[in-house]
Chains A and B, each alone.
Chain A
Amino acid sequence: MYQIDLLSRVPIYEQIITQTKKLIAAGVLKPGEALPSVRSLSMSLHANPNTVARAFTELDREGVICTVQGKGCFVTEAAKQIIKKKSKERLSDVSALCRELIAAGITKDEIIAEINKINTDAQKKGEN
């Protein structure tokens, strides 16, 4: 389920956080559903258990998951909303990329056409 690059420049705990959010946003992990345990995730990713636990603590702090003592971690009802809110902050990444593309000579229309394409893809997925 998770795919982590242990030697990436991106910290492992950040990769676990990002991927958990992606899995929730995509509906793979649903509200109320349990996340893999620290033990099983640490074993399957060959990652340090303290690093995995740190990622879960951060997700808990953000309200995306909640930890039930002795039972494990579960996706919260509000998870999708929180992820959506956080994703809005990343819109500035899009403008940075667009500026780069425009500097390289790609027109605004071409970029908009590309965005429209993504939109229909997402809608199609939603209908199915």
Chain B
Amino acid sequence: MITLKNVTKSFDNKAVLSDIDLEIKNGSVYGIAGSNGAGKSTLLRLIAGIYKPDKGEITADKAPVWENPAVKGRIAFVPEEPYFPSVVSIKSSAESYKLLYPSFDFDKCLTLAMDSGLDYRKPVSSFSKGMKRQAALILALSQNADYLFFDETFDGLDPVMRTRFKNLINEEVISRGATAVVTSHSLRELEDVCDELVILHNGSVVYENAVDMIKSSYFKVQIAYDGPKREEDFEGLEILDKSKNNSVFELIIKGGRAEVTEKLRATEPALLDIMPLSLEEFFVYELKTQGYTAEPVKGGLR
């Protein structure tokens, strides 16, 4: 398990992350989502032991991550833009990885490269952007690491490659109990990959829970009545957002589906539509409550 306690990180006196408390269970595929500049990459680099926290502590299976080779040997990290020196091929990279990581599987690496249609003898610098990312992914997966960290790695892979790597990560989780952490600014990239999710905004945790929990406990409701309707009729429901268009109420409700449906039906509506909130809607809604919206800032900049 990876544990973060009161983790704070600043750059040039500007706090990027403040007082982060998180627990990432072993064997999970954990997503870090957030608005632009929310601190996703910083968080991942802290967990990987690349950055040192200003305050707080980060441990993996109770051992500190920072400057701890025993833990770092169990971590594989794929940066947003992987760097390969000009003459290095997948094969020669694999040879140096083998020296650094005792658990590195050389044959697995070459097999994965071949399966992906990549020539492991060619310099990676001659590859396209997507192929470079695949090369970095293959090297990371061959490390047989307990912790796999991917910084926006899924963003921009084609659907076939995306499905392939999703399966490869799932395979690592099933067969070895590996833990994966993936960042993305797009929830669509995360929702079918991860089982748990944290949403960051302005350096703080806005929400943290199982992905399926969001879809089964938040609903978008459209409801209308024949006659006039009083506010009290929605009593007993946890309504997070309410707007009215003509005579149709649009509500965001938190609660179990059966309970919400039953209570709304009891108000005898003429029209009732209940839909689970999509992850993207949830994200937009959560950030709206934090004052981050797609609407222009009121009054604008003068």
Contacts and interface: CB of A to CB of B under 8 A. Distances in A.
B167 A12 contact: no
Contacts of A81: none
A60 interface: no
A30 interface: no
A96 B195 contact: no
B276 A48 contact: no
Given A9-B215, A11-B212, A50 B29 contact: yes
Interface residues of B, number: 28
Contacts of A10: 215, 276
Contacts of A125: none
B188 interface: yes
Contact of B170 (A11, A14, A42, A54): A42
Contacts, number: 62
A46 B278 contact: no
A103 to B, nearest CB: 7
A110 B222 CA distance: 27
B128 to A, nearest CB: 24
Given A43-B170, A49-B174, A50-B173, A6 B212 contact: no
Contacts of B193: 48
Interface size class of A (residues with CB under 8 A): 20 to 34
B163 A46 contact: yes
B212 A9 contact: no
Interface string A86-105: 00000010001000000100
A47 B212 CA distance: 12
Interface in A7-41: 7, 9-14, 38-39
A41 to B, nearest CB: 11
Given A43-B167, A54-B212, A103-B270, A7 B174 contact: no
Interface string A47-82: 111110010000000000000000000000000000
B166 A46 contact: yes
A50 B278 contact: no
B27 to A, nearest CB: 7
Nearest to B163: A46
B223 interface: no
B171 A43 contact: yes
Contact of B188 (A7, A12, A50): A7
A69 B27 CA distance: 19
B191 interface: yes
B192 interface: yes
Interface string B158-174: 00000100110011011
B263 interface: no
B188 A51 contact: no
Interface in B16-68: 27-29
Given A12-B192, A96-B265, A48 B163 contact: no
13 contacts: A6-B191, A6-B192, A7-B191, A9-B215, A9-B275, A11-B215, A38-B174, A39-B174, A46-B192, A48-B192, A48-B193, A50-B28, A50-B173
Given A48-B29, A48-B195, 17 more contacts: A6-B192, A7-B192, A10-B215, A10-B276, A11-B211, A11-B212, A11-B216, A14-B216, A38-B174, A42-B170, A43-B167, A46-B170, A48-B173, A49-B170, A50-B27, A54-B212, A96-B265
